[in-house]
Amino acid sequence: MNLAYRDIRHGLGRFLLTCVGLGLLLGVVLAMIGIYRGLVVEALTIARAPAVDLWVVEANTRGPFAEASRIPADTREAIARIAGVVAAGSITYQTVEAEYQDRKLRLYVIGYEPTRPGGPPEIEEGHAIARSHFEMVADRSSGLVLKDRVRLGRDTFTVIGSTRQQVSSGGDPVVYITLQDAQKLQFDLAPPAARIQMARGGTGSSGRDTVNAVVARLHPNASPDAVAETVQRWKHLAAVTQEEQELILTRSLVDRARRQIGLFTSLLLAVSAVIIALIIYTMTMEKLKQIATLKLIGAPDRTIIGMIVQQALALGLIGFAIGATLIASIKDYFPRRVVLEPDNVLALGVIVVVVCLLASALGVRAALRIDPATALGG
């Protein structure tokens, strides 16, 4: 006769309600872990999108994500000629706000050369940019769909392709346009400012021949560090390997947010552990008279321990399953990415089991100390 099962069945409603409560709490823990992972993944998304080995940026900067970087556009030809470089592409990054369906749409605009590295990793729907101007590949998270027309700066762009899960480290959806359009968007002055500039003898354009970075794909046998060293011989340039770029993004750009969420997640985990322990301890305390009676009529300790431990594990595992199911079903509705990695979910499951066992140890200790004489008398 399984006493734990019978007791749970007898108070099924209350037990399930407790499981749901615990499930919600564990769901929040899991969501925080997912948000934490999502932050890191999102931070790395743009850096990984071009699938390159080397980032050439302005000297003395850690651009283009952590710091502003501006280098001459013809840098790409110089980089492409270095031994070991297979392909190179110029690239620009900027954040813009556009009007879309009567609301402000915040977009992270990447300008790239369509035949060179730096474009979208995969087109989910539609096709890649084929014309020199006014075409756009937009991420689905922006809400833009094929054939949508969006005004960026002084030009209107048509969405001809869409990507999935391409967002900036700040969570803004990415749109890809041609380098020429991006340079115009980023560097051309507004007409009044251009008129003043021209009146002063300028060109009316602040730097159309400027890009934020040049990305390079290397030959499999080429050493990124060696190529970086070569690049750095040009005094106006700096080179960052892909590995270093990812480190800059995770350790610098999103580090505080990452640590903030990490700390909060740890705190939440500790609170969950205390709550689990309290629930299980209280469940045991409510059964003191029954436990005393069991001891008095001769039930061995293993029967009593089994009842407490099995109930604690059932509570923890059912609560965890509810929490995991809940978060798995709603994670896509979060405004930013929630990444539930199997090993993280498994780790939380193991933590819940350990916490349940520790908490039930408290209950078991209390149960074993109960005097069977407690069962006698009122």
φ/ψ of residue 267, rounded to 5: -60, -45
Q: Which is nearer to other proteins, 11 or 143 (CB)?
A: 11
Q: State how far the Cα of 159 lies from the Cα of 148, in Å rounded to an integer.
A: 5
Q: Least distance to other proteins from the beta carbon of 373, Å? A: 5
Question: 242-281 mask for other proteins (x: CB under 8 A)?
Answer: ----------------------------------------
Q: Least distance to other proteins from the beta carbon of 287, Å? A: 9
Q: Least distance to other proteins from the beta carbon of 314, Å? A: 14
Q: What is the DSSP string of 60-84?
A: T--TTTSS---EETTHHHHHHTSTT
Hey, which residues between 283 and 342 contact other proteins (CB under 8 A)?
289-290, 293-300, 303
Hey, which residues between 8 and 47 contact other proteins (CB under 8 A)?
9-11
Residues 6+ apart with CB under 8 A from 145: 159, 162
Q: Which is nearer to other proteins, 190 or 297 (CB)?
A: 297
Q: Which is nearer to other proteins, 66 or 375 (CB)?
A: 375
Structure tokens at 98: 């556009």
Residue 94: C-alpha distances to residues 122, 182, 202, 213 (Å) = 21, 8, 24, 12
Residues near other proteins (CB under 8 A), total? 25
Is residue 126 within 8 Å of residue 162, measured between CB atoms? yes
Residue 328: C-alpha distances to residues 14, 122, 132, 324, 345 (Å) = 25, 25, 41, 6, 10
Question: 346-375 mask for other proteins (x: CB under 8 A)?
Answer: -------------------------xxx-x
Residues that bind other proteins (CB under 8 A): 1, 3, 6-7, 9-11, 289-290, 293-300, 303, 371-373, 375-378
